[in-house]
Amino acid sequence: MGSNNRRLKGLIAGAAGAILLIGGSTYALWSSSGGLNGGTITAGSLGLTAGTPSKLYDVSSDRLDSTGDPGTGTDLSTAVGDCLPSETYYGHEADLSDWNIVPGDSILEVFPFKGHLKGDNLVAKLSANFTGATSAVTDLTAISGSVTAYYLEGTDDVTRTELGSVDLQELLGSGSAGVEETLGFFQSPEQTDGTADGSLPELPDSAPASDNICVVLSATWDADSTGATAGTSTGSVTGTTDVGKSVLGLSSGISINLVQTRDGAEIDEWKASQGHQFGA
């Protein structure tokens, strides 16, 4: 009888424990977990760095070294490499330490860059920003010229293509407030299958060893201008009046920008302005 009592008490105790587990909700269903390796996503890159130092050239039309006649003119292609068409530009490098610009002078300044784009869906806009530009010439309407972008492909036999050009007066804007204007667009090599942008010129996916973008500033100070440098006489330039060594002062306020864009309408508008040379 004692043995049966002990067994009964054990069953009751076991049942009570089970009731406590169920009623108290302290038990847990089995579970397990495992990790997922989603892989590593690598970001692309965009870069625009200044190449060899920019140089400034005097290409005034009334100088002997500005003519293209064989044996007379100095072909600037020997100085600026592949940036410029040799059949177009002749002159000499200007020494800013002793050169004074005067009305009627023409200058050429070359800004070389190394650009690259890496990204499956990467398109970038190249622009010239003159919002900080100042000038030694008091009358900005007396300055004419352009800013032109070229891109270079290859190493030994370089192909030069004009990307786009903007009138200098448009960049100077009204008064002393310059503006930013588009010079063109580039795509990364991985963007080729993009239906909207597949025809844009490509930049390499890593920084190149040689300059592959050239931005060229050309400017002429109107020969009939009466404006001199800021802080000096604004009347007729005569005698020994200092008309400035800062070469119009323009390059100090210029920036060239390469910025990602996804604005298809802006790209299409630029293509149309280039006569469809980069595709429809």
Domain range annotation of the chain: 46-273
Q: What pLDDT is recorded for position 149? A: 92
pLDDT tens, residue by residue, 50-92: 877 777 788 888 877 776 665 566 667 666 667 776 666 777 8
Mean pLDDT confidence for 153-165:
82
List the single range of 35-44, 159-168, 197-206 with lowest mean pLDDT.
35-44
Please tell me the least confidently modeled range out of 11-20, 117-126, 149-158, 264-273: 11-20
pLDDT at 241: 40
What pLDDT score was predicted for residue 182? 93
pLDDT category at 116 given cuts 50, 70, 90 is very high
Q: What is the pLDDT of residue 108?
A: 83
Q: Give me the pLDDT at residue 235, please.
A: 39
- Kindly state the average pLDDT of the residues 259-279: 80
| Residues contacting residue 249 through CB under 8 Å, at least 6 positions apart | 133, 134, 135, 136, 137
* pLDDT at residue 245 greater than cutoff 50: no
pLDDT at 185: 93
Q: Which residue has the higher pLDDT, 210 or 224?
A: 210
pLDDT band at 115 (very low <50, low <70, confident <90, very high): very high
pLDDT at residue 83, as a whole number: 77
Is 18 in contact with 24 (CB distance < 8 Å)?
no
% pLDDT > 70, the chain: 62
Q: Average model confidence (pLDDT) for the chain? A: 73
